[in-house]
Amino acid sequence: MEIIATAIPDVFLFKPKVFGDERGYFMESFREQWLLERNVNVHFVQDNQSSSSKNVLRGLHYQLHKPQGKLVRVISGEVFDVAVDLRRSSPTFGKSVATILSAENKHIFWVPPGFAHGFLVLSDSAEFCYKCTEYYAPEFERSLLWNDPELNIEWPCSDENTLILSSKDRAGLLLANAEVYA
């Protein structure tokens, strides 16, 4: 397992060892020790999986109370994945980290509690899997506006009109108006 540092120290990218031959491949997609070695002691309570088509943008979501840490990966297709630091006391508050996750690269992205998370599907479709440290609590869910100029996220889309967003995501708040963590 290779652990790749990102511009935000609490966010990691894991590059698993993949063992393959003519039969296929094998890899570990989770090992608690990977996080413990980075001083991250979490307990996962829920696994989720979603399927989305090309140009679907989901996010940027977070739970104001009961914040979720997410260990995310793609098992089919390719996405552009983003984590935004919403911890006001953090030196990286309002900054983001983005990476490409795909079935081909098999990378795994750790998005800690206190971050907003979202992704854009780049392939014809994508299957997205993630482990959560808290249960989904819709009453606490919030959305940041995906294209907030203050966030300066360089989404890889040539035409914003082709993006497919839920009404909730279209109504996301600017960072300046959003409820955030202490």
Q: How far is C-alpha 40 from the chain's CA centre? A: 17
Q: Give the residue with greater pLDDT, 140 vs 39.
A: 140
Going by pLDDT thresholds of 50, 70 and 90, the confidence category of residue 37 is confident
45: Cβ contacts below 8 Å, ≥ 6 apart: 132, 133, 134, 135
DSSP-derived secondary structure letter, 33:
H
Which residues are known to be catalytic? 61, 130
Tens digit of each residue's pLDDT (9 = 90 or more) over 130-170: 999 999 999 999 999 999 999 999 999 978 899 999 999 99
* Percentage, residues of the chain above pLDDT 70: 100
Closest CA to 67 of 131, 132, 17: 132
Average pLDDT across the chain, whole number: 95
Average pLDDT over residues 12-18: 93
What's the pLDDT score for residue 160? Answer: 87
Q: Give the residue with greater pLDDT, 113 vs 28.
A: 113
Q: Which CATH superfamily is domain 2-177 in?
A: Jelly Rolls (2.60.120.10)
Average pLDDT over residues 3-15: 94
Query: Measured between alpha carbons, how far is residue 28 from residues 59, 99, 116, 153 in Å?
Result: 27, 20, 26, 31
Going by pLDDT thresholds of 50, 70 and 90, the confidence category of residue 78 is very high
Tens digit of each residue's pLDDT (9 = 90 or more) over 86-131: 999 999 999 999 999 999 999 999 999 999 999 999 999 999 999 9
What's the pLDDT score for residue 91? Answer: 97
